[in-house]
Amino acid sequence: MTASRIRLYVEHPLGEGQTLSLDRAQAHYLFAVMRQTAGAGLRVFNGRDGEWQATVTEAGKRGGVLACEAQTAPQRDPPDLWLLFAPIKKARTDFIVEKATEMGTARILPVQTEFTNSERIRQDRLQAHAVEAAEQCGGTYVPQVTGLHGLDALLADWPANRRLMFCDETLAGGACALPPDGRGQPWAVLIGPEGGFSDAERARLSALPFAHPVALGPRILRADTAAVAALTLWQTACGDWA
Amino acid sequence: MTASRIRLYVEHPLGEGQTLSLDRAQAHYLFAVMRQTAGAGLRVFNGRDGEWQATVTEAGKRGGVLACEAQTAPQRDPPDLWLLFAPIKKARTDFIVEKATEMGTARILPVQTEFTNSERIRQDRLQAHAVEAAEQCGGTYVPQVTGLHGLDALLADWPANRRLMFCDETLAGGACALPPDGRGQPWAVLIGPEGGFSDAERARLSALPFAHPVALGPRILRADTAAVAALTLWQTACGDWA
């Protein structure tokens, strides 16, 4: 909800006096799409070094150079939260990645469940969406989007100390309760596919010692709505929305 | 997150043995798009009488007839909650209406603020989006989408007993606190425009005795994300996500 200003994600280390060379896609965006020229100012971030003010020193069709000047915001990492979701239609999958970036997740893992329709994802496209969302929302962190994991395999190899908030529409009307000692811990939020979890998946999830089933109200939510609602509940109960 | 099944919003009263005639648009959707024929079953709702099982008794290009059989779900109204939001780009405005319907709002009011870019809205289009969202999410209630209100005029004529949760990104990092006695009361949630509220608007909102400023975490959210997050907080604190 801020006024528009140009923010660009780069991969270079950032620091005072650092020179940054732009690749063709970045040059196209900055000089052709956004019509910037030499001397223009913008903000850059790389996901590690905070946000910096930079100035265009060379502008070309195939590249360009920026000079990094002063830090404008410190690095701010999200809580150690993963979002697991079953990919849905293209536009809504893009939306989930965008929203997960804005809401503050460290890692985004598309998962294949029994009722997931999509068998393939374009990991590079989704990662680019996370970058764009971070550019637009003023974030200094870009969550990593992983390849598609099978839910069963992921649960079989689950990290010992990571808890799982699992959103189950069959609990509708039941209480939402996240453990009061969950703050500051590694967590994951799992959003089911549009067709819901299978009975076998639900039984398996419910039996996991690290899983916490949570209801998202009495109405049925689309998966993209459920993702934002679940992340809101988690950030409020266990994350950095204190 | 349920398996697909056809649900149709109709305006007729619903009851056992009731006959429903379909208009051209409904007939097109049901018979041409969804390829249903005479004898097919579907669910219907009208926003007042719950959800009913119906059967197609006549299918034509310009209309059709349904027979209403048995109630499949009782009427379920959302809490007495209004969502006020500043219209943004078309797709994201549509999205806010869809999400407000799923999340459970009684009325959706587009508002014009100082920094709102959009001066006009298509009220009929937005209302149709609310209907479609109710059809898809299994709801029996369709929120009314009003015309565009000026924020100042709306606040000047504010209903005496309706509280206002006002989401202010300048509070980022501050506490989210809704009053513990707010449950079961008439409320409105106000989401600001992409450019934020003006200083004058913020001062006016903060001075209102019925307004409760709430922060939505330390990151800046797009207006559509903010709408879902704010509705989640409200439903959990004051609504029907108990």
**How far is the C-alpha of B135 from the C-alpha of A38, rounded, in Å?**
53
Using the Cβ of B116 and the Cβ atoms of chain A, whether some distance falls under 8 Å is answered with no
Min CA distance, B219 vs chain A (Å)?
Answer: 7
Q: Do B60 and B89 lie in a common domain?
A: no
Chain A CB contacts of B228 below 8 Å: 99, 225, 228-229, 232
B79 near A CB under 8 A: no
Query: Distance (Å, rounded) from C-alpha A68 to C-alpha A80?
Result: 29
Taking the C-alpha atoms of residue A242 and residue A167, their distance in angstroms, rounded to an integer, is 22
- The helix (H) or strand (E) run that includes residue B205 is helix B199-207
Question: Among the three residues A29, A44, A73, which one is the final residue of a domain in this structure?
Answer: A73
Residues B55 and B88 in one domain: no
User: Residue A53 is encoded by which pair of tokens?
Assistant: 């003010």
Is pLDDT at B46 greater than 60 in this prediction?
Answer: yes
DSSP B48: S
Sheet strand arrangement including B41-45: B7-9, B41-45, B51-59, B64-73, B19-22
pLDDT in tens, A114-147: 988 766 789 999 999 999 999 988 899 999 999 9
Domain shared by B157 and B198, yes or no:
yes
* A118 plus A210 within the same structural domain: yes
User: Hunting for tokens 């869809």 — which residue is that?
Assistant: B98
At B129, the pLDDT band (50, 70, 90 cuts) reads very high
CATH number of the domain bearing residue A20: 2.40.240.20
Number of structural domains (chain A) is: 2
C-alpha angle A114-A120-A125 in degrees, rounded to nearest 5: 135
Contact between chains at A228 and B233 (C-beta distance less than 8 A): no
Residues A143 and A230 in one domain: yes
Cα–Cα distance for residue pair A84/B42, rounded to 1 Å: 33
Mean pLDDT of A205-212: 91
Look at residue A163 and tell me if it is in a domain: yes
B64 and B152 co-located in one domain: no
In a domain, A56, yes or no: yes
Residue of A nearest to B102 (CA): A221
Q: Is residue A1 part of a domain?
A: no
B125/B135 Cα distance (integer angstroms): 15
Interface contact A221-B76, CB threshold 8 A: no
Query: Is B242 within a domain?
Result: no
Whether residue B65 has pLDDT greater than 50: yes
Please state, for a pLDDT cut of 90, what percent of chain B lies above it.
74
What CA–CA distance (Å, rounded) separates B184 from A143?
38
Question: B72-97, pLDDT tens digit by residue?
Answer: 999 999 999 999 999 888 888 999 99
Do A44 and A126 reside in the same domain of the chain?
Answer: no
- Which stretches of chain B are DSSP H helices? 24-27, 90-103, 123-137, 151-156, 199-207, 223-237
Instruction: Say if residue A115 is in the same domain as residue A213.
Output: yes
In chain A, which residues have their Cβ closer than 8 Å to the Cβ of B239?
A: 217
Neighboring chain B residues of A114 at a CB cutoff of 8 Å:
none
**For the whole model, what pTM was predicted?**
0.92
pLDDT at res. A178: 79
CB B165 within 8 A of CB B89: no
Is a pLDDT exceeding 70 seen at residue A3?
A: no
Q: Tell me what pLDDT residue B194 has.
A: 80
Residue A103 in contact with partner chain B when CB distance is under 8 A: yes
**Residue at which a domain ends, from A30, A49, A73:** A73
Task: Name the residue of chain A whose CA is nearest to B215's CA.
Answer: A241
CATH number at B182 reads 3.40.1280.10
Which amino acid belongs to residue A56?
Answer: V
- Grouping H, G, I as helix, E, B as strand and the rest as coil, residue A32 is helix
Q: Which of B1, B76, B175 sits opposite A223 (nearest CB)?
A: B1
Q: Read off the tokens for B135.
A: 């059809």
User: Is residue B132 within 8 angstroms of chain A, CB to CB?
Assistant: no
Q: Is the residue at B39 inside a domain? A: yes
Q: Is the pLDDT of residue B14 over 70?
A: yes
Contact yes or no for B175 and A242 at CB 8 A: yes
Domain of A86 in residue numbering reads as: 81-237
At residue A225, does pLDDT exceed 80? Answer: yes
Interface membership of B76 toward A (CB under 8 Å): yes
Please indicate, yes or no, if residue B2 is contained in any of the structural domains. Answer: no
Q: Looking at CA atoms only, how far is residue A138 from chain B in angstroms?
A: 7
Portion of chain A with pLDDT greater than 90, in percent:
75
Query: Are A26 and A9 a contacting pair, CB within 8 Å?
Result: no
A140 contact residues in B (CB cutoff 8 A): none
| pLDDT > 90? residue A27 | yes
Is A118 part of a structural domain of the chain?
yes
Tell me the chain B residues in contact with residue A228 when contact means C-beta distances shorter than 8 Å: 99, 225, 228-229, 232
